[in-house]
Structures are given as C-alpha cells and as structure tokens.
Amino acid sequence: MTTAVWAPPKPLRVLRRFVRTPKGSLLPILLLLTAVAAPAEGLGRVLPNVIGAMAAAALVDLAIMRFTRGVWFFPSGALLTGLIVALVLSPIEPWYIAVATAAIAIGSKYVLRTRWSNIFNPAALALVISSFLFATAQSWWGGLPDLSPLVLVLLVCGGLYIANHINKLPLVLVFLGSYFVLFTATALLGNSAQVAEIFRVPDVNAALFFALFMLDDPPTCPTRYSDQVWFALIVAAVSYAVFLAAGVDYYLLAGLLAGNVWEATRRWAARPKLREVR
C-alpha cells in the first residue's frame, strides 16, 4: 500500500517559484513601503498615481510582447518599474503624468537596447525625460521622508536583503560610501551651505532608496565585483557633479544613466573577447 504525497496546486507552486526570484522578492517589499508611506502623503493623492503607473507599465509591456513575439506573460518587471516611477514622482503630479512616465519607461526598454539587455534603467530614464517634457517634481516619497527615522529600518533592511539576494552589496555600499565622502569633503573644504541638504531629509532618504532599489537593477548593472566598484564610483561622481553644477532634482538619476552608458559600453567591448573564449 502506497501513501499519497500531497502536492501543492500548480498556481501555488508557480507563486512560490516567483517569490524566490529577485523580482518576486522586490515587489512585496516595495508594496510594503508604499503601504507605509502612502497614508502620510495622502491616499487620495498617491493611489491614482501608483495604480495608474503600474497599470500603464504592465499594459504597454503586454502589448509590445504580444505584438512582437505573440506571447502572453506576467509583467512583473513592468509592475516594478511603474511602482518605482510612482514612488519617486511627487504625489502632487496628476495621475496622467505618472501614467505617461511609466509608459515611456517601458517603451525605452524595447527601443534603447542591445542584443543582451536594455541600456538604461527604464524608470531612471523615464523620470529624467518626464522632468524635461512635463517639468515634473520628484519627492522620492517611497524613501519614507515624512515618517519617523525609525521607519527607515524597513527601507534599509528590505533594500539590503534584495542587494544581497542579487549579489550587488558591493555596488550599493561603494556608491553610498563614495557619494557621502564626496559631499562631506566639499562641506569640510568650506562649501557646507551648498551641500547641507544632502545630509538632511528628504535627500538622505532619496539616496538610500536610489541605492537600494534602483542602482542595482540587474539588467543594467555589472555582475563582477570589480566592475560593480567602477560602476558605483562613476554613478557617485556624476551625481555629485550634476548636483554641484545644476542642482536639479534628477542628479541621482543622471549619475545612474551615466553608469548605464559605461556598463553598456563595457559589455559591448567585451563581446569579441567572449567569442574568443568560446
């Protein structure tokens, strides 16, 4: 007589596999941060932007994949992109601006890409484009700037878990270290008033959210530790330079786009070497 072994239903098995992936781990963490931050920002203001951006990103991704490859799939990456766009944009922006920005983000993945991946972090590129097209403001409310500093434990612990899960801790730590060293050196050299806001809320929260949830986007950042160090230094240096030169809201995002260009160029240059190895 054999004993039947209970097996979970297929949908449950699929859900378990998804939760173990980087995207499956990141999505609930960002949704938790959204749930914690949203009441302080006003649910009536943030929910239309969050829902609109996520829905627009998912629909654009589904439509493009269906048209180009004839397949249906679960747009987990698009949902994350839309959510990040909403968490960075100021809640005072109309919902249709969040929708347009999220759509631009997903479209950029398919237009600006190489044979192996998209070149730019989609959310970062779309947020910079949006600032030019629509003069949008960025509050980085997903970094919990309007809540008690104790709540930052959620942000930091969740972000470090993800960074470790995708093997990007060196990237995150080197960026944060070099970023704050540059601004600290500037303050010590006599320009403290110019950079004081970097060490205050909401800029500190923005830097943490950026480093933990945008900088380490797997398709657009390096995997080798040595390359992660160079990538982090480039992003920190360009972010610092853009802040001092222009003081624009998107100085962190400008640094990330510069890092994305460096990484795409490095990968392109490495292609002949990879062929020789094979």
Residue 77 domain-assigned (yes or no): yes
Query: For 137-153, how does the pLDDT look when each residue is reduced to its tens digit (9 = 90+)?
Result: 999 999 999 999 999 99
Query: For 49-80, how does the pLDDT look when each residue is reduced to its tens digit (9 = 90+)?
Result: 999 999 999 999 999 999 999 999 999 999 99
In whole angstroms, give the CA distance from residue 130 to residue 53: 13
Total number of domains in the chain? 1
Split at pLDDT 50, 70, 90, the class of 99 is very high
Residue 8 domain-assigned (yes or no): no
Q: Decide: pTM greater than 0.85.
A: yes
pLDDT(230) > 90 = yes
Cα-based torsion angle of the residue sequence 236, 54, 69, 120 in order, rounded to the nearest 10 degrees: -10
pLDDT(213) > 90 = yes
In whole angstroms, give the CA distance from residue 232 to residue 170: 9
Residue 216 domain-assigned (yes or no): yes
CA 74 from chain center: how many Å?
A: 19
Average pLDDT (4-27) is 73
Split at pLDDT 50, 70, 90, the class of 17 is confident
Residue 154 domain-assigned (yes or no): yes
Residue 11 domain-assigned (yes or no): no
Cα-based torsion angle of the residue sequence 198, 172, 136, 34 in order, rounded to the nearest 10 degrees: -100
Residue 2 domain-assigned (yes or no): no
Max CA separation in the chain (angstroms): 83
Predicted confidence at residue 115, as pLDDT, reads: 84
Region of poorest pLDDT, from 77-86, 161-170, 187-196, 207-216 = 187-196
Beta bridge partners of 113: 118
The domain in which residue 143 lies consists of 21-277
Predicted confidence at residue 22, as pLDDT, reads: 85
Residue 45 domain-assigned (yes or no): yes
Residue 15 domain-assigned (yes or no): no
